[in-house]
C-alpha cells in the first residue's frame, strides 16, 4: 500500500450522517474518504426529494432536493475523496491496527478508522410482486411521485398503508379526479389526522391487495384487487397506479464484523463508539439511548463519531472541533465568501 492511500477516516454511506461527517472531519484536519453504494450523495433523502422539509434547525422550509445539494456542497468543503457505486462488503484489521475495506467491485480501501453511516443499508424499493408488472414502469405504474400535476383529473389507485402512501393519497386527492387507496390491512400506519382525512377524501379498499394488472397496449387500464380474507375480487378502472410498499434495507456483511447489533441497529455508546476499537457509527443505522432518527440527529451523531475517531488517533486531541466561527481553517474560505 502506498502511504497516500491510507486515510484517517473512511465513512461508509453518503446520507446526511456521512456527508456531515465528511465536512466535520475536514474541520478537524483529518484525511477523509467517503464510500457510497449509490451513484451520488444524499442517501435516503432521494426517496422524498420533492417533499418540503421544515425540521432542520435554522434552515427555512426547503425542498429536499435542494437540501441534498446544500449538504453535498458542505461535505465537499475540505475536499474529501469520494467513491461512488461501491458497496462496502468486507472489513479486515491489519496487524498495525489499520483496516482494509473491500467493496463489491473488488477494490480495497485503507483506513485508520471507520465510521459506519449506512442508514438502512443499501435500500431497494419494494416492487409490486406481479409477473410482468415491470413493463408498465415506463408508462403508468409508478413507485414515486415526481410531478403531482401529471395526475390531474385522473383516476389514481395507490397501494400502501404507511405514512408516505397516506401523504401521497392526500396530495393526489387535491388534483386527481378520484383516488382509491388499497391496503392489505384495515389499519394505516400514519398520523391519525391524515388517516381520518383519507377516509373522507379517497375511496378506501381494505383489507385488499392488487392481484392483477390489465393492460391495453403499454398502459394499465384496469386493476383487479382481492379481499385478504374472503378472496372476493373487484375490477377497477384506473389511469395510473402508484405502489408505495416501502423499502427493504440490506446491511449485507456489515453485520458480520463482530459488531454488537441491537433490535434497532448498530449499538454505539454516547461517544458513537461501537464495541470494536476504531469503528464508529452515526445516523439511522445506530442505536443508543437518546437516538433521534432525524436529519438533525444524524448531524449530531456524525460530529460525535468524528470527535471520537480523532481522539482514537490522537488521544491528546481536544474532545471536539474548535467552533467554526473562530477557526483558522475558515479564514481563507470566509475571505472568498465575502470578497
**Beta carbon nearer to ligand FAD, 38 or 313:** 38
Q: Find out whether 296 and 282 touch, Cβ atoms under 8 Å.
A: no
From 150-158, 174-182, 192-200, 290-298, span contacting ligand FAD (CB under 6 A): 290-298
Sign of CA dihedral 121, 122, 127, 132: negative
C-alpha cell at 225: 384487487
Beta strands in 41-104 (DSSP E): 52-53, 62-63, 81-83, 88-93, 99-103
Interface with ligand FAD, residue 330, by CB under 6 A: no
> Is 18 an interacting residue with respect to ligand FAD (CB under 6 A)?
yes
Q: Is 88 helix (H, G, I), strand (E, B) or coil?
A: strand
Under the binding rule (CB under 6 A), the answer on residue 143 touching ligand FAD is no
CB of 278 to ligand FAD, least distance (A): 17
Contact between 283 and ligand FAD per CB under 6 A: yes
Considering only residues 295, 304, 306, 321, which one is a binding residue for ligand FAD as defined by CB under 6 A? 295
- The span from the CA of 74 to the CA of 59, in Å, is 14
Is 25 near ligand FAD (CB under 6 A)?
no
Q: Work out which of 72, 148, 276, 294 binds ligand FAD, going by CB under 6 A.
A: 294
If binding is defined by CB under 6 A, does position 36 make contact with ligand FAD? yes
115 binds ligand FAD (CB under 6 A): no
Query: Would you count residue 14 as binding ligand FAD (CB under 6 A)?
Result: yes
Taking the complex as a whole, the smallest distance from the CB of residue 170 to ligand FAD amounts, in Å, to 14
Q: Report DSSP letters for 280-312, one per residue.
A: EE-GGGEE-TT---SHHHHHHHHHHHHHHHHHH
Are 186 and 207 within 8 A, CB to CB?
yes
Binding string, residues 62-91; x marks residues near ligand FAD by CB under 6 A: -------------------------xx---
- Residue whose CB is less far from ligand FAD, 101 or 176: 101
- What CA–CA distance (Å, rounded) separates 302 from 306? 6
* Residue 15 touches ligand FAD, criterion: CB under 6 A: yes
Nearest alpha carbon to residue 279 among 45, 80, 117: 117
322 is in an annotated binding site: no
Sign of the dihedral defined by the CA atoms of residues 332, 334, 337, 339, in that order: negative
Count, residues near ligand FAD per rule CB under 6 A: 36
Q: Which is nearer to ligand FAD, 65 or 239 (CB)?
A: 65
Contact in structure between 86 and 40 (CB atoms under 8 Å): no
Residue 71 in 3-state DSSP?
helix
Q: How far apart are CA 74 and CA 84, in angstroms?
A: 17
Binding site residue list for FAD: 36, 48, 88, 284, 325
The residue ranges that bind ligand FAD (CB under 6 A) are 12-18, 35-38, 43-45, 48, 53, 55-56, 87-88, 117-122, 164, 252, 254, 283-284, 293-296, 298
Residues of each annotated binding site:
36, 48, 88, 284, 325
Amino acid at each position: 500500500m502506498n502511504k497516500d492511500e491510507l486515510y484517517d477516516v473512511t465513512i461508509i454511506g453518503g446520507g446526511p450522517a456521512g456527508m456531515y461527517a465528511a465536512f466535520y472531519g475536514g474541520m478537524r484536519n483529518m484525511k477523509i474518504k467517503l464510500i457510497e453504494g449509490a451513484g451520488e450523495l444524499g442517501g435516503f433523502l432521494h426517496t422524498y426529494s420533492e417533499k418540503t422539509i421544515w425540521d432542520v434547525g435554522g434552515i427555512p422550509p426547503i425542498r429536499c432536493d435542494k437540501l441534498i445539494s446544500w449538504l453535498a456542497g458542505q461535505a465537499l468543503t475540505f475536499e474529501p475523496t469520494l467513491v461512488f457505486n461501491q458497496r462496502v462488503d468486507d472489513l479486515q484489521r491489519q496487524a498495525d491496527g489499520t483496516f482494509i475495506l473491500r467493496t463489491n467491485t473488488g477494490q480495497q480501501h485503507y483506513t485508520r478508522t471507520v465510521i459506519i453511516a449506512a442508514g438502512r443499508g443499501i435500500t431497494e424499493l419494494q416492487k409490486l410482486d406481479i409477473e410482468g408488472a415491470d413493463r408498465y414502469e415506463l408508462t403508468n405504474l409508478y413507485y414515486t411521485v415526481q410531478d403531482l400535476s401529471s395526475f390531474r383529473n385522473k383516476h389514481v389507485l395507490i397501494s400502501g398503508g404507511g405514512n408516505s402512501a397516506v401523504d401521497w393519497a392526500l396530495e393526489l386527492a387535491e388534483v386527481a379526479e378520484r383516488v382509491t387507496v388499497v391496503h392489505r390491512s384495515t389499519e394505516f400506519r400514519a398520523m391519525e389526522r391524515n388517516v381520518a382525512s383519507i377516509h373522507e377524501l379517497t375511496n378506501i379498499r381494505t383489507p385488499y391487495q392488487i392481484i392483477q394488472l390489465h393492460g391495453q397496449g403499454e398502459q394499465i387500464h384496469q386493476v383487479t384487487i382481492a379481499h385478504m380474507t374472503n378472496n372476493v375480487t373487484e375490477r377497477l378502472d384506473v389511469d395510473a397506479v402508484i405502489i408505495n410498499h416501502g423499502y427493504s434495507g440490506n446491511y449485507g456483511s456489515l453485520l458480520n464484523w463482530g459488531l454488537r447489533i441491537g433490535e434497532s441497529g448498530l449499538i454505539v455508546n454516547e461517544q458513537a463508539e461501537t464495541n470494536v476499537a476504531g469503528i464508529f457509527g452515526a445516523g439511522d443505522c445506530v442505536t443508543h439511548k437518546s437516538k433521534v432518527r432525524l436529519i438533525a440527529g444524524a448531524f449530531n451523531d456524525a460530529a460525535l463519531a468524528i470527535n471520537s475517531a480523532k481522539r482514537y488517533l490522537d488521544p491528546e486531541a481536544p474532545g471536539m472541533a474548535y467552533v467554526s466561527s473562530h477557526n483558522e481553517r475558515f479564514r481563507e474560505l470566509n475571505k472568498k465568501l465575502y470578497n
